[in-house]
Structure 1
Amino acid sequence: MERLDEVIWVEKTSFVDELLDQELTVSPIPAGLEANVLKFCSPTDCAVLKIWNKASNPDVHFQHGLLAALRHRGIPVSTSYGWGHTPSRHKVLLTSCDGSPPSTVTSRHAKDFADLLLGLHQLSVRELDRALLKTYDFIPYFYPGIEEHQDIWAELLPLVAGSELKRNKLIHGDFNLGNILDNQGKYTIIDWTNAQLGDARYDLAWSSFLIHIYNGEMLASAFRNAYLSGSEFDTEEIRRFEAIACLRWLLLHRTADIPRTETTIHRVNEIIIGNKYLKNEIGGFP
């Protein structure tokens, strides 16, 4: 679908009507596994339409409301202009166009990104409507199909059991450098599909792990240390959660088409060898 006027809106702002009254150009934006993203531009404005495929079933109404609530509380997120579905029932969400993922990342940027995540976790969930605080069972949600991978399953269960998982913070669920947009130094956090009431330590560990394997240990350490300097967590408990995060990536490596290169695999192996909470043979890489 490449026409905005084909969307069947369930909820929309006046901005959508203003946009539709103008001549629009459309261009694709690189996206993840579950959705396509299109950028619609008029001579004066641009907006981004995310279109989920039928295999996924996101709660787009929830995301629309969450973005409004977070913006109201100073969290740097996109403005949601409306949501609905295509004629073929693919769910869609129209948001502001807030830049592009950072092209270069330094230790200073890593600290800025840590501050973004820390700011989210410091938000009092009491300020949010209960409908915006979704809860899920941790393992079924983040490790679907793990029962078919008994080696990962056997590693994961004792780690989760010993971690004293909490559900006391709003977490992003997939905070990574691809979900941060940069517009001349102004950052915006995008893709709130996995947002839920959860454990901030896991949110941090998943982010730190991804930065490590895709951007290197130095940036991951800068990110992790900057976050920890403003939190009550300690390095040892995050190391346990990074083991939990690593097991999730290993499962996705087997079951989904996630980004990976020889460098990525090498770094994952290094993490497995260096993390005392993981068995060296768990990766199964050559």
Structure 2
Amino acid sequence: MSGQKHILEHYIKEKFSDLESLSIAGLEKLPDGWESDNYLLTVEYGSVTQTRVSWVWRIYSGVGSQAKAVWEFNSLERLRGAGYPVPRVILLEAEHSPIDRPFIIMEYIPGEVMWDLLDKVPAERQVRLIDHFCRLFVQLHDLDWKQFDDSLPEDAPFFFIDQWLDEARGVLQNFPEVDGSLFLEWVAARHDLLACARPSPVHQDFHPGNILVKADESAIVIDWTNFAVTDSRFDLAWTLMLAHAYGWPGLRDQIFQGYKYHAGKPVEQIEAFEAIACARRLLDLTVSLTQGAERMGMSAQATKAMRNNMEAHRRVYRLFIERTGLQIQTFDKLFGKSD
């Protein structure tokens, strides 16, 4: 038994002392995210009739990893309580981890990643999957936001754009190598167009890679470290930016049209929010590629993954220029040329 497996088995025997004869039957590495290491953890228990269950052991990396573990665990509990399709969380260990990194244990969802399915299924099923994706997205944004944060003002339409501007100014002070002043001025000049009619629960990284499709075609949404309540257009724009840069031609428009159809209403000023999404992505990439992804709260392996996808990152920058008419010197150096 590996050292890590032995440590974990001792730990879970203490935490689940009511499960007789508990042991680890398997510990298999799963594909990593940019913020965590993930394992398929199979345990057996019972002395007479033996039961075998599969869990996910999710270990967090980077700056603020303890807070991320707590936040994701609590967010998953609240979302599941609200009836949204997320994994059931089983255990949180943030302060006394036996491996010196915070982690959670949650149920394992057998299924396929929606991105992988989209690449190989016939066109008619691809359309159904994207429609399901859009329905899940609208369902999230339609949840009662007060279940998640009742401290937010109810009648303050500019609260979230003001909050974003304040936070962006603070973030850029920490990264003086990126001069984003022109972009902040660009957003501020459009301030009065960016009123929010209703706060929404948001994922902030909602893409087909974070959707697991089960055999019965139901779906579960994973990876909730960035869960928040804000203007849903921040969330939608991030997804559209990812679809434009990392998907196939036309995917961005397909998702946008599907989202509007299921929402039953227009989405105003989405191009401005796409510009904001591009800026967020480009800042994350710039700092990670030049100083290491750990500084942005991600794992060291994330930097390698980023370097392998430079042409997609250039598409993000081209979209930023298209939406704003601005060019930023630091971004130009990294993303301004195509292979």
Shorter-chain TM band: 0.7 to 0.9
Aligned position for 1:158: 186
CA–CA distance in 1 between the matches of 2:18 and 2:137? 34
Q: CA deviation at 1:124?
A: 0.9
Aligned position for 1:39: 40
CA–CA distance in 2 between the matches of 1:231 and 1:156? 30
Cα deviation, 1:78-99, whole Å, max 9, x if unaligned, reads 0001111422431111111113
Cα deviation, 1:8-36, whole Å, max 9, x if unaligned, reads 899x7x6x964971442111112222211
Given the two structures, how large is their TM-score scaled by the length of structure 2? Answer: 0.71
Match of 1:180 among 207, 211, 236: 211
Aligned position for 2:309: 261
Cα deviation, 1:91-145, whole Å, max 9, x if unaligned, reads 11111111342213234322211211110110012334649xxx99535767874
Match of 2:91 among 71, 82, 91: 82
Q: Secondary structure at the match of 1:188?
A: strand
Residue type at the aligned position of 2:183 = E
Aligned position for 2:244: 212
CA–CA distance in 1 between the matches of 2:270 and 2:247? 19
Q: CA deviation at 1:180?
A: 1.4
2:65 pairs with 1:53: no
Over the aligned positions, Cα root-mean-square deviation in angstroms equals 3.4
Conserved 8 A contact 2:172-2:180: yes
Q: Secondary structure at the match of 1:24?
A: strand
Conserved 8 A contact 2:148-2:229: no
Aligned position for 1:279: 326
Conserved 8 A contact 2:278-2:317: no
Aligned position for 1:245: 277
Conserved 8 A contact 1:9-1:83: no
Q: CA deviation at 1:270?
A: 4.2
Residue type at the aligned position of 1:193 = T
Residue type at the aligned position of 2:219 = Y
Conserved 8 A contact 2:134-2:258: yes
Give the paired residue count. 281
Instruction: State, as a whole percentage, how many aligned pairs show the same letter.
Output: 23
Conserved 8 A contact 2:41-2:55: yes
CA–CA distance in 1 between the matches of 2:257 and 2:311? 23
Quick check: 113-122 or 145-154, which moved more? 145-154
2:78 pairs with 1:69: yes
Aligned position for 2:142: 122
Unaligned runs of 5+ in 2: 45-51, 119-125, 152-158, 289-302
Conserved 8 A contact 1:5-1:20: no
Cα deviation, 1:38-72, whole Å, max 9, x if unaligned, reads 11124732110111125333243443333222223
Q: Secondary structure at the match of 1:74?
A: coil
Conserved 8 A contact 1:50-1:94: yes
Q: CA deviation at 1:196?
A: 1.2
Residue type at the aligned position of 2:203 = H
Residue type at the aligned position of 1:97 = Y
Conserved 8 A contact 1:179-1:191: yes
CA–CA distance in 2 between the matches of 1:96 and 1:222? 32
Conserved 8 A contact 2:187-2:272: yes
CA–CA distance in 1 between the matches of 2:11 and 2:312? 39
1:280 to 1:40, Cα distance in 2 relative to 1, 3 A = same
Aligned position for 2:25: 24
Residue type at the aligned position of 2:75 = L
Q: Which has the higher helix share?
A: 2
